[in-house]
A = this chain, B = another copy of it.
């Protein structure tokens, strides 16, 4: 007899696992702000073996998402403390073995399961406090999903405001930008317990969602301010030239990815 559970803690029944087994389903809305920064600031975030994108290599996307997510039992949706979370992430693009990928370099969420689900997928998640204006259908306390609708968005960690953005809908859009539109290329790293500089887990993985669904989608102008922190490097990614902002309703399901390289430690 052994312990059960997709993720730790593993136990008799697996019920205590920090994550239920995939697939996982997500529905929410997303604000994507794309801009160009210094190419060096992008290139320095790529580990050996990855190259900047061929075209528009200094492009960055900063993305807010307000999610509900659940397992294939859907039980979390009736106990929404286990279903609702928000995240902010920073995406660049890279090239590996002749193919282009999207790559998340920084990300903050506000629940433990979303944090560790990210670590499983190679997203380098930290905790943060995240807010994103919601559109409304009645009354005056929120934007409508139409031109002129204005949104605010913020991120704080360690009690410091790291990001503050505003966005105004300009027009309907057929897409939500190009920086986060490719399959993801992530590393999954876990240093060896010996603390000698080696990584026990050192994998390069790629993944895509399945059954993605896009609802209403809009583009518009934005403003983005970046604040500093002793434990962040976001200020190296200052906007030099805005591309565009996008707001959209989005959903997807996720089941698994593919390991592209595996350099895990072996033996003891």
Contacts of A201 in B (CB 8 A): 190, 200-201, 264
Q: Give the contact-size bracket for chain A.
A: 35 or more
Other-chain contact of A251, B2, B138, B187, B261 (Cβ < 8 Å): B138
A18 located at the interface, meaning its Cβ lies under 8 Å from any Cβ of chain B in the complex: yes
CB <8 Å contact, B141 and A67: yes
A226 located at the interface, meaning its Cβ lies under 8 Å from any Cβ of chain B in the complex: no
CB <8 Å contact, A195 and B256: yes
How far is the CB of A64 from the nearest CB of chain B, in Å? 10
CB <8 Å contact, A143 and B77: yes
Residues of A within 8 A of B (CB): 1-3, 6-13, 15-16, 18, 21-22, 25-28, 44-48, 67-70, 74-75, 77-84, 105-107, 111-112, 115-116, 119-122, 124, 126-127, 129, 131-134, 136-143, 150-154, 156, 158-161, 164, 166, 187-196, 200-201, 203, 205, 207, 211, 213-216, 230-233, 236, 249-253, 255-262, 264-268
